Structure formats: structure tokens, C-alpha cells
Amino acid sequence: MKPKVVVVMPAYNAGRTLRMTYEELPKDTVSTVILVDDGSTDETLKIARELNLEVFMHDRNYGYGANQKTCYTEALKAGADIVVMVHPDYQYDPRLVPQIVEPISKGAADVVLGSRLKGGTALQQGMPWWKYFSNRLLTWVENTTFGLDLSEFHTGYRAFRREVLESVNYAIDSDGFIFDQEIIAQVVAARFRIAEIGVPTRYFPEASSASFTASVMYGLKILTLTARFLLFKWKIIPGRQFISLRARYTKVATRPS
């Protein structure tokens, strides 16, 4: 049976790009599109309603991680088998949803990342040089920590099998940008399979992009996260964040009386 694919869009002031992002989504693959508005002050909500999207609103700007938490929670409620995050800023190509879903629908992966660096053309496509090299460095740190060999961890184009989101405790993750890496650490700790596909990306004024200062802070938080993960892996700290919900339930269920 064909899996139910739900696209989630974490939106903040995406009024200029939302319509073109939605129009390029392959409707024969996507069952439902959910948009979570994180306190936008532009016409994001108006356009989302014109497009008949399922809209959920935050009463203020809580942050990128908080937005994703609502996205995934509502997608699970909607009965999603596969959840795909597509940024409504049109930076990632929405037409690639079938390709990012395919490894999951075929049972070859549990999580799929759309990598901007896999094809080796990110700089030519407009990625700032400092962002490219810091991305490479942090990806090396994370690959070393997690025992993986991915080309990029810092992508906003992601697909999750339902069971992944039901297992990892994303509700206790950060409300900020580091959420992206925290959920990956949880996926690794729970031993889910991660695959990646190469995706082109676009850099233009309307596309969201973190400032240099924000990127530095993000990088420092990643280093802190990887250090905590290693301490958890080496059983030096308990690391509640990295223990899957399913593992906890199993532990309780099998505890001898």
C-alpha cells in the first residue's frame, strides 16, 4: 500500500516564497501539506489559507525548533507514514520529494537527508565560502562522533519514517536551530538508519540564512552536543535526551516484578 506522505513547512515570514514552493510540490506523491506559522508578520498566513493548506499558528515567534516540534506532532496526528520537512523559503527544490521519500518507502532507510554538499557544487550554487568550510568541519566532527559517513548534517530538507518520530523524544529538544542536530543525535542513539540524496539549493535574498554570528553560536552548540553525546555513549552521563521513548517503554514492560 502506498505510504501516506505528509509535507510539513515550518514557516516564518515566508510570504514571498510560499506559493512557488507549494506549486512545485509533486501532488501525486504528497497526501497532505501542513504549515506551522511561527508568529509571522507578513502575509504567510493569508497565502497559506489561499492555498488551502492545513495551518497551525504559534501566538509568537518561539523559534525554529519549536516550529518543527509542532510540525511533527501534527503530522503524526494526521496519520503520516512518512514526514518530509520542506522549507517554504524555496531554497530547496520541492520537486525532489519523491526521491527523498523513496529510500524510506522501499525500506532501505528510516531517515533521509537532502545534502547540498553531496554533489560538490554548493559553492557554485552560491553557498558562502565561510559557511561551506564550517559545514565541512562540523560534518566531520559529527561523522566522527556518530560513526557515520554523511556529506552533510546541516540541511533543512529531511524525511522521517513515522516510527522514528514516535521513538525519539524531540519534545525535550531545543526550540532553536540546534534542534536539527539534536534530533539527528537521537536518531543515531536509537540506531535508526540514515541515508542521503544530493539536492541543489538556491541562495537569494528571500531565502532564509543565518548570520555569521548566529552561525558561530550554532557551531559552538554542535560541539557541545557532540561532547554530551560521547559522554552518554561512554556511560559517563545518563543522557536522558538520547534515550528513545520506545526503549523506555520496553524497559518498564520487561522489568521483573
As for how many domains the chain has, the answer is 1
Is the pLDDT reported for residue 16 higher than 50?
Answer: yes
> Tell me: the pLDDT tens digits for 169-220?
999 999 999 999 999 999 999 999 999 999 987 765 555 556 677 888 999 9
Q: What is the pLDDT of residue 205?
A: 58
Give CA–CA dist 203/194, Å, rounded.
26
Is the pLDDT reported for residue 98 higher than 50?
Answer: yes
> Tell me: the pLDDT tens digits for 110-151?
999 999 888 666 666 667 777 778 889 999 999 999 999 999
Measured in whole angstroms, the distance separating CA 77 from the mean position of its chain's CA atoms is 18
CB 222 within 8 A of CB 141: yes
Domain span at residue 9 reads: 5-254
Give CA–CA dist 218/220, Å, rounded.
5
CATH number (domain holding residue 10)? 3.90.550.10
Q: Which amino acid is at 141?
A: V
Q: Residue 246's closest CA among 110, 85, 101?
A: 110
Whole-number Cα distances in Å, 74 to 26, 79, 80, 157, 232:
21, 9, 9, 18, 30
> Tell me: the pLDDT tens digits for 36-59?
999 999 999 999 999 999 999 999
